[in-house]
Amino acid sequence: MLLSPKARLVYLAVILLSAGLSVLLFEPQRLLASGWPPQLSGAGAVVVFGLAYGVCTAALVPRPILNLAAGALFGSLYGFAGALAGTVLGAGLSFALGRALGQEALRPYVRGRWMKAADGQLSRHGFRSMLAIRLFPGMPFAVANYAASVSRMRYSSFLLATGLGSMPNTAAYAVAGSEATSPTSPAFLVSAGFIVVSAAGAAVVGWRKRHHLRGAGRPDVAAGDLAAEGSSAERERVTA
């Protein structure tokens, strides 16, 4: 690309700011939920919804609202399919945008203790880390996408972890949306309970991960880990 890294970063900031303002002004999530064209139905409607969902999530529209709308419009099964496809599409768009426009400009600023630890975690254990983030969605969807794009995580690992990890939460919201008119039904109560439990789990995982990253970023801890690895390797050589 001919643009300098800083110029690309400016373009990324402008795109994200414009997307955020568009969401505030036009509220596309309401159009998907209540202004859906009546002539669209069946599998074609699910495909169109998934495409619109992906664009909306890349434009910073909150996923829970879209997941509920998917269930309300298409029912549990087809709503889940459309929402999951849109989730992967939106994540892929955000990741590609962040990597193309922001990675080279932002990587020099990854200097803080927590930032280095998070970057190292995503770069070395990208699939496992992103899977945990999606299963326990404490981090906002867009933040996770752009944080991963700045790291050295592989695109395929990011998409696969996003698809697999987003399944339980997306299904719960789709079921809740499809059963919204019957809030006392077992399906609604189970899905709502799962959402609450997963949110609590995300808070616990986030708290533990924060302390883990804090320790991982400390020079004395990092040096101790390297020393331990060296001692283990030396023992293995002696044993051999």
The predicted-structure confidence for 143-175, as pLDDT tens digits, reads as follows 889 888 888 889 999 999 999 999 999 999 999
Record the pTM: 0.75
pLDDT for 80 equals 96
Residues in the chain: 240
Res 230 pLDDT > 50 = no
Which one is predicted more confidently, 40 or 171?
Answer: 171
Which one is predicted more confidently, 44 or 40?
Answer: 44
Whether 198 and 136 have beta carbons less than 8 Å apart is answered as yes
Domain membership of residue 63 as a residue range: 5-239
pLDDT in tens, 46-92: 998 999 899 889 888 889 989 999 998 899 999 999 999 999 999 99
Question: Mean pLDDT over residues 93-122, rounded?
Answer: 70
Confidence band, pLDDT 50/70/90 cuts, at residue 186: very high
Number of domains observed in the structure of the chain: 1
Cβ contacts of 57-60, under 8 Å, gap ≥ 24: 57/86, 57/87, 57/89, 57/90, 57/91, 57/94, 57/141, 57/142, 58/19, 58/90, 58/93, 58/94, 58/97, 59/19, 59/20, 59/22, 59/23, 59/28, 60/16, 60/19, 60/20, 60/23, 60/142
pLDDT for 203 equals 78
Question: SS3 string of 58-110?
Answer: HCCCCHHHHHHHHHHHHHHHHHHHHHHHHHHHHHHHHHHHHHHHCHHHHHHHC
Question: Mean pLDDT over residues 32-47, rounded?
Answer: 74
Whether 163 and 84 have beta carbons less than 8 Å apart is answered as yes
For 101-131, letters b (16+ CB in 10 Å) and e give bbbbbbeeeeeeeebebbbbbbeeebbebbb
Query: In 102-218, where does DSSP find H-type helix?
Result: 103-106, 113-124, 126-135, 141-150, 155-178, 186-216
